[in-house]
Amino acid sequence: MESSGAIGTLIAIITGLTTFKGLQDSGYFDAYKFHVGHILSGKEYKRIITSGFLHGGWFHYAFNMLTLIAFSVSLELIFGYVKFLVIYFGSKIGGSLLALFVHRNHGDYSAIGASGAVSGVLLASVLLYPDDMLSFIIIPIEIKSWIFALLFILLSIFGIKSQKGNIGHEAHLGGALTGILLAVAFQPSLLTTSLWVVLLMALPIIAFLILIVRNPNVLIIDKYWGETLSRGHYQEKKKAKKNKLRIANKAEREETLNHLLDKIRKDGIRSLSEKEKELLDRLTNDL
């Protein structure tokens, strides 16, 4: 029988070496990190994979790799080395592709880390053992693995929606869905023995992906979850909001415009609320 955990440990060692190289050599780091502009315009598709071998620091690396090793044991034992590698790298690709879709219009967006791959390994393991208890190093509590997985998925969805912080929630969610699908493909009996777990984890992700594909405004507008998919209704609401945005005089308009431009320079266009974006459009059109 194949020794469980060996491939996960090997990946952790290789990732540690490449992470060390990246932290020491900024040119190496920049050449292999996930970067939307280089991938879409420069066709540097290798970055989809190579970014998983880089981390922003040793805490980031340790968290990902300890999780990988912990959950790779059961997957390697049940699926074997080859299928485990397919789950790991397939989940990495799935996570990167979702990040690429969400940030397709943000050419300067970049990311690093194996979170997508690790998320796939984690969710695949939960499918196999949904009733196992998981404990946390920092918080001394235990919860069933299927509850943890569901919370992880919901947190990732709300993280993508809010776009706050410096966490690659898109990679987490894309990797998680890929891990679920590959685990079911490699062990179809899960659809019989653990169908409720498969549906509980997969359906929220699929529903969210359908929502953002059909209505991209969900990713742009704060507190908007696609209450309507009617383009006409949305345009009416947008027009009504614009009518409420009144600027008293030219001096005030210039001061407001400068404030918005300074905010963009410091934190990027996504830091603006929907109301601020509409205000920016109105001010620039008045110039």
In whole angstroms, give the CA distance from residue 126 to residue 117: 14
pTM for the complete prediction?
Answer: 0.77
Catalytic residue status for 189: no
What is the Cα 114 distance to its own chain's centre?
11
Q: Where residue 59 falls among pLDDT bands split at 50, 70, 90? A: very high
Domain boundaries, the chain: 6-219, 231-286
Query: What is the fold of 6-219?
Result: Rhomboid-like fold (1.20.1540)
What pLDDT does 228 receive? 59
Count CB atoms within 10 A of the CB of residue 186.
17
At position 161, the amino acid (one-letter code) is K
- Active-site choice (72, 74, 115, 119): 115
Average pLDDT over residues 149-153: 93
- Active-site choice (38, 125, 172, 194): 172
Q: Any residues with CB less than 8 A from the CB of 29 and at least 6 apart, and which?
A: 22, 23, 54, 112
Q: Where residue 197 falls among pLDDT bands split at 50, 70, 90? A: very high
What pLDDT does 248 receive? 42
Check pLDDT > 70 for residue 250.
no
Average pLDDT over residues 210-227: 80
Lowest-confidence segment of 17-31, 88-102, 151-165, 269-283 by average pLDDT: 269-283
Q: Where residue 86 falls among pLDDT bands split at 50, 70, 90? A: very high
Catalytic residue status for 38: no
